[in-house]
Amino acid sequence: MDITCMEIPGKSKDIKVIKSKKLNWIKTKVTDIKSISPKVKIFTLETEKKIHIEPGQHFEIKLISASGYEAQRSYSVISNFSDTNKLCFAVSKINNGEVSEYLHEKLEISHNLYIRGPIGKYFNLNKICKSVILIAGGIGITPFIFYLRQKNFDTKISLIYSAKNQKEYLFRKELEDKNKLHKNFNLIVTLTKEFERTWKGLNSRINNEIIKSVTNKHSPLKTQYFVCGGSNFVENMSNILMNLGIDYKDIKLERFGP
């Protein structure tokens, strides 16, 4: 079952569109595991056949214990190419998290994992027109990384990214290199728990003023907003956007957390 969740911010009830589409579990082999921060590792899973993936899509990863107990969670794909047999996922370790802790502590190169996907038409970033503002909280950066890797920056893109500190500022070099290279790309990073003097950037949570000033830079283009992160973060960003008078049809939300 491919479940696409379509949310209308500010409305009392979310609308869920449930589409039936048979997705089979695919056997993959772990070919690479790399730490990119104290909490985040990138896992590369190789499939037999190439898979077509689009930015914003995710896969379900399934763990099966010896007793037959199964647990599955969703992870956004961050690969380098749209047609690939190497699927990369950046997973943040949650304390006592059933799946993320296993992936971080027990999974090894050459192990097999079952995955299902790609899933997600609603958060598909390929459908953006002239101008987009991406808003990420923590590990919610993942769908945007794959999107930015695909882009030639012929459209105006801003990324407002909130991380805890410099160690958890994920994909820093890649993002800062793109920011230097492409005049159509505007990177705004704010670190909410950074105490090092080496950080010269913003330190507040993403707020009304930050979003408003970035929005003004996109004016008069019709701009779409994509927000991704934990539930509280997404809720707060959605409220700010609605209060700024952004049309709900131009806002798309993806919640990672509880």
Ligand X SMILES: Cc1cc2nc3c(=O)[nH]c(=O)nc-3n(C[C@H](O)[C@H](O)[C@H](O)COP(=O)(O)OP(=O)(O)OC[C@H]3O[C@@H](n4cnc5c(N)ncnc54)[C@H](O)[C@@H]3O)c2cc1C
**Among 73, 151, 178, 252, which residue sits at the site for ligand X (rule: CB under 6 A)?**
73
Tell me how far, at minimum, the Cβ of 190 lies from ligand X, in Å: 19
Q: How far is CA 153 from the centre of its chain?
A: 19
CA distance 249 to 224: 8
Q: Does 256 bind ligand X (CB under 6 A)?
A: yes
Beta strand segments in 167-212, E: 185-191
Contact window for ligand X (CB under 6 A) among 10-18, 67-75, 195-203, 210-218: 67-75
**Among 41, 51, 58, 178, which residue sits at the site for ligand X (rule: CB under 6 A)?**
58
Nearer to ligand X, 91 or 211 (CB): 91
**Among 38, 68, 245, 258, which residue sits at the site for ligand X (rule: CB under 6 A)?**
258
In sequence order, what are the residues at sequence separation of 6 or more whose Cβ sits closer than 8 angstroms to the Cβ of residue 94?
A: 100, 101
- What are the distances in angstroms from CA 132 to CA 93, 173, 203, 245? 29, 22, 23, 16
Tell me how far, at minimum, the Cβ of 206 lies from ligand X, in Å: 17
Nearer to ligand X, 70 or 196 (CB): 70
Tell me how far, at minimum, the Cβ of 126 lies from ligand X, in Å: 16
In this structure, what token pair is assigned to residue 136? 């990420």
Q: What count of other Cβ atoms lies within 10 Å of the Cβ of residue 174?
A: 12
**Among 131, 142, 215, 224, which residue sits at the site for ligand X (rule: CB under 6 A)?**
142
Tell me how far, at minimum, the Cβ of 243 lies from ligand X, in Å: 25
Nearer to ligand X, 118 or 214 (CB): 118
Nearer to ligand X, 23 or 99 (CB): 99
In sequence order, what are the residues at sequence separation of 6 or more whose Cβ sits closer than 8 angstroms to the Cβ of residue 115?
A: 25, 26, 28, 45, 47, 59, 60, 61, 62, 87
Binding to ligand X (CB under 6 A): which residues in 81-110?
A: 89-92, 94, 96-101
Write each residue from 153 to 192 as x if it is in contact with ligand X (CB under 6 A), else as -, in one continuous string. Answer: ----------------------------------------
Q: Which run of H or of E encompasses 180?
A: helix 172-181
**Among 76, 162, 190, 238, which residue sits at the site for ligand X (rule: CB under 6 A)?**
76
Tell me how far, at minimum, the Cβ of 230 lies from ligand X, in Å: 5
Nearer to ligand X, 2 or 101 (CB): 101
What is the distance in angstroms between the CA of the first residue and the CA of the last residue of the chain?
A: 21
Q: What count of other Cβ atoms lies within 10 Å of the Cβ of residue 128?
A: 19
Nearer to ligand X, 92 or 131 (CB): 92
Q: Residue 55: is the preceding peptide bond cis (ω within 30°)?
A: no
